[in-house]
């Protein structure tokens, strides 16, 4: 392992604390990641030294703020290998990005009888906007089935997508099942029927190299707070030719070209979709997070997580009474591991773990149709990031056995 990974936890102030007098093992990275000092410093530096509105001022602070904000956009473009920085729209996060799409591209292109195809593994943010759009337009919402080990059933996908399908919206990596979908292959299937490919990349961009041109995704959404950045900032990537045809999502300042008394015209992309004062400081913070991840190298980030899964998954599968959801082979499993423990409610498990300093998620993980599909109401979820260690895994395992002993199961 590279030496810079061995001391990585020192860059994250929050990881130095104790919880309930125990070493903190933070294993809820699928919900949000922790922030390195460099990101915290970048946000504070903006407010202390460069705070001004962007695109509107000729004075020095305004020019510096605009340059930093647009530099962050270029960093995003390069990080996901978009063809053009104009294809990068800043939003509040993945949910906001997908709602933007449903309210613009969806409203303008979906008609009665058209099909929208999603899967049972979708997060609510990539389910409800399409569900509601289908209800409003009289369109047909189809769900792709899963295989026995929780992977997307490609044969069923090919059956579900037809020439009536206009939108295929799928997650790149599941926030519950620990599977990573072959988006490139799935986009090819969608495009064969002239459907657009929408990708929820919230669980992928922070954890692996992502090249939107290679994937041939038409739209790709992700959040800053899951990739070391601050909350309240996210990205919607879209192919330029599609974005240029779409109407604005919101109206107001910054997104206009000319405003007359009874009609207005819109500025060019991406600013057409960024009405009002944007989240400038947090966009800059996201840019610094990208700097951090780029310095580490996304291939190495993925490798660290795979090593953790290789270490953790076989041990979890050996625990009596513990059920893992998703693939049982570590080479098919990413850094999200969901499980249930005997007959103990997931919330009780997570509470017990917290007493041992282990932070995990418990609940339906904003994926209630998936929970119904799996036949459970909730699961416990441990999710890793590159700053986690085998010591965190060992602490998780100790918490599991102590919880079993406490509940006598």
**Maximal C-alpha separation, the chain:** 73
- What is the spatial distance between Cα 193 and Cα 187, in angstroms, rounded to a whole number? 10
Residue 252: strand, helix, or coil: coil
311 a catalytic residue: no
Residue 276: strand, helix, or coil: coil
Per-residue pLDDT at 1 exceeds 80: no
Per-residue pLDDT at 2 exceeds 70: no
CB contact set of 266 (below 8 Å; sequence gap of 6+) = 248, 255, 256, 257, 272
- Residue 73: per-residue pLDDT: 98
CB contact set of 7 (below 8 Å; sequence gap of 6+) = none
Residues 73 and 208 in one domain: yes
Domain that holds residue 328: 3-31+297-407
The pLDDT confidence band at residue 3, using thresholds 50, 70 and 90, is: low
Residues 18 and 79 in one domain: no
Average pLDDT on 215-237 reads 98
**Higher per-residue confidence, 1 vs 34:** 34
Per-residue pLDDT at 206 exceeds 70: yes
**173 DSSP assignment:** B
First to last CA, the chain: 38
Average pLDDT on 342-365 reads 97
Per-residue pLDDT at 5 exceeds 70: no
Distance set, CA 252 to CA 58, 146, 168, 223, 360 (Å): 21, 43, 31, 24, 41
- What is the spatial distance between Cα 199 and Cα 219, in angstroms, rounded to a whole number? 6
- Residue 407: per-residue pLDDT: 95
**Higher per-residue confidence, 243 vs 343:** 243
> Which residue out of 19, 52, 355, 366 is catalytically annotated?
366
Average pLDDT on 163-189 reads 98
Average pLDDT on 306-323 reads 97
Residue at token pair 């800053």: 224
What's the CATH number where 356 sits?
3.90.1150.10
- Look at residue 36 and tell me if it is in a domain: no
- What is the spatial distance between Cα 246 and Cα 107, in angstroms, rounded to a whole number? 10
Domain boundary among 265, 295, 325: 295
Average pLDDT on 263-290 reads 97
- Residue 116: per-residue pLDDT: 98
Residues 102 and 203 in one domain: yes
- What is the spatial distance between Cα 374 and Cα 124, in angstroms, rounded to a whole number? 16
Q: Closest by alpha carbon to 200, among 185, 229, 214, 180?
A: 180
- What is the spatial distance between Cα 160 and Cα 154, in angstroms, rounded to a whole number? 10
Average pLDDT on 270-283 reads 96
Residue at token pair 């904003």: 366
Domain boundary among 238, 271, 295: 295
CB contact set of 379 (below 8 Å; sequence gap of 6+) = 176, 325, 338, 339, 340, 346, 362, 363, 365, 371
Residues 305 and 321 in one domain: yes
- Residue 409: per-residue pLDDT: 87
- Look at residue 67 and tell me if it is in a domain: yes
% of the chain beyond a pLDDT of 90: 97
Neighbouring-strand partners of residue 116: 141, 167
The pLDDT confidence band at residue 7, using thresholds 50, 70 and 90, is: confident
Average pLDDT on 148-160 reads 96
The pLDDT confidence band at residue 308, using thresholds 50, 70 and 90, is: very high
Q: Is 344 exposed, middle or buried (0-12, 13-18, 19+ CB in 10 A)?
A: middle
Domains held by the chain: number: 2
Residues 233 and 304 in one domain: no
Half-sphere exposure of 363 (CA within 13 A, CB side): 9
Round the average pLDDT of the chain to a whole number and report it.
Answer: 96
- Most confident range (mean pLDDT) of 54-63, 250-259, 311-320 is 311-320
Residues 254 and 229 in one domain: yes
Domain boundary among 248, 267, 295: 295
Residues 146 and 275 in one domain: yes
Residues 267 and 239 in one domain: yes
**152 DSSP assignment:** B
What digits encode the pLDDT tens for the residues 23-39? 999 999 999 999 999 99
Q: Closest by alpha carbon to 88, among 202, 199, 236?
A: 236
Per-residue pLDDT at 402 exceeds 70: yes
Q: Is 276 exposed, middle or buried (0-12, 13-18, 19+ CB in 10 A)?
A: exposed
- The Cβ of residue 375 has, within 10 Å, a number of other Cβ atoms equal to 6
- What is the spatial distance between Cα 309 and Cα 254, in angstroms, rounded to a whole number? 46
Q: Closest by alpha carbon to 94, among 218, 237, 207?
A: 237
Per-residue pLDDT at 4 exceeds 80: no
- What is the spatial distance between Cα 220 and Cα 200, in angstroms, rounded to a whole number? 6
Residues 236 and 319 in one domain: no
């Amino acid at each position: 392992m590279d030496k810079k990974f061995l001391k990585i936890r020192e860059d994250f102030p929050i990881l130095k604390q104790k919880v309930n007098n125990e070493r903190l093992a933070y294993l809820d990275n699928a919900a949000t990641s922790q922030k390195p000092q460099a990101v915290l410093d970048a946000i504070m530096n903006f407010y202390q030294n460069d705070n001004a509105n962007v695109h509107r001022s000729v004075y020095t602070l305004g020019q510096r703020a605009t340059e930093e904000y647009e530099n962050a956009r270029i960093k995003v473009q390069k990080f996901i290998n978009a063809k053009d920085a104009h294809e990068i729209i800043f939003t509040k996060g993945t949910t906001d990005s997908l709602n933007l799409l449903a309210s613009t591209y969806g409203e303008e292109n979906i008609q009665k009888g058209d099909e929208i195809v999603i899967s049972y593994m979708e997060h609510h943010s990539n389910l409800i906007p399409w569900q509601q759009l289908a209800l409003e337009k009289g369109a047909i919402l189809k769900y792709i089935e899963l295989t026995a080990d929780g992977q997307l059933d490609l044969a069923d996908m090919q059956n579900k997508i037809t020439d009536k399908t206009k939108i295929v919206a799928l997650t790149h990596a599941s926030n519950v099942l620990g599977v990573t979908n072959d988006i490139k292959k799935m986009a090819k299937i969608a495009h064969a029927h002239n459907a657009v490919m929408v990708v929820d990349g919230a669980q992928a961009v922070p954890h692996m190299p992502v090249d939107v041109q290679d994937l041939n995704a038409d739209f790709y959404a992700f959040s800053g707070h899951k990739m070391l950045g601050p909350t309240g900032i996210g990205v919607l990537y879209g192919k330029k030719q599609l974005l240029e045809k779409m109407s604005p999502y919101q109206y107001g300042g910054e997104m206009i070209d000319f405003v007359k008394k009874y009609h207005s015209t819109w500025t060019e992309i991406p600013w057409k979709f960024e009405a009002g004062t944007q989240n400038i400081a947090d966009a800059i913070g996201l840019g610094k997070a990208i700097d951090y991840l780029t310095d580490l190298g996304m291939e190495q980030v993925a490798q660290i997580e795979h090593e953790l899964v290789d270490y953790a998954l076989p041990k979890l599968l050996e625990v009596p009474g513990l059920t893992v959801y998703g693939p049982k082979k570590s080479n098919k499993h990413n850094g999200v591991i969901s499980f249930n423990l005997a007959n103990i409610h997931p919330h009780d498990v997570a509470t017990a773990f917290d007493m041992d300093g282990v932070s995990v998620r418990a609940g339906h993980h904003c994926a209630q149709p998936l929970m119904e599909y799996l036949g459970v109401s909730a699961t416990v979820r441990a999710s890793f990031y590159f700053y986690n260690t085998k010591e965190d895994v060992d602490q998780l395992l100790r918490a599991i056995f102590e919880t079993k002993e406490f509940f006598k199961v």
